[in-house]
Amino acid sequence: MITALPALTVSAIYLAWNVCHRERLRRQQLLCRRVAYMLWAAAHVGEPGFDEDDEPDSALDRRLTTYTFFHRRHQ
């Protein structure tokens, strides 16, 4: 039993580190997606369908916001 304790401790430390590492990666990927969407939206300002007065394409808008969680302001 005493010989299994160090292995259990090392395993617990590794699992805790792995959870933190995956969370940091998830946050970094989310940030990259948001920045990519922001740059994409800024590049298309002034084009038909992207003005505030135009009706947004709901299917495109829904796809973009689903994957980026970066919601555009709607009227």
Q: Look at residues 31, 52, 32 and name the one whose alpha carbon lies nearest to residue 44.
A: 52
Percent of the chain topping pLDDT 90: 45
Question: What does the pLDDT read at residue 2?
Answer: 83
Q: Domain ranges in the chain?
A: 4-68
The CA–CA distances, whole Å, from 74 to 17, 26, 53, 55, 58 equal: 41, 27, 10, 9, 10
User: Could you tell me the pTM of the whole model?
Assistant: 0.54
Chain CA centroid to CA 17, Å: 21
- What is the three-class DSSP state of 62? helix
pLDDT mean over 15-31: 96
Q: 68 versus 17: which is more confidently predicted? A: 17
Give tens-digit pLDDT for 1-10: 788 999 999 9
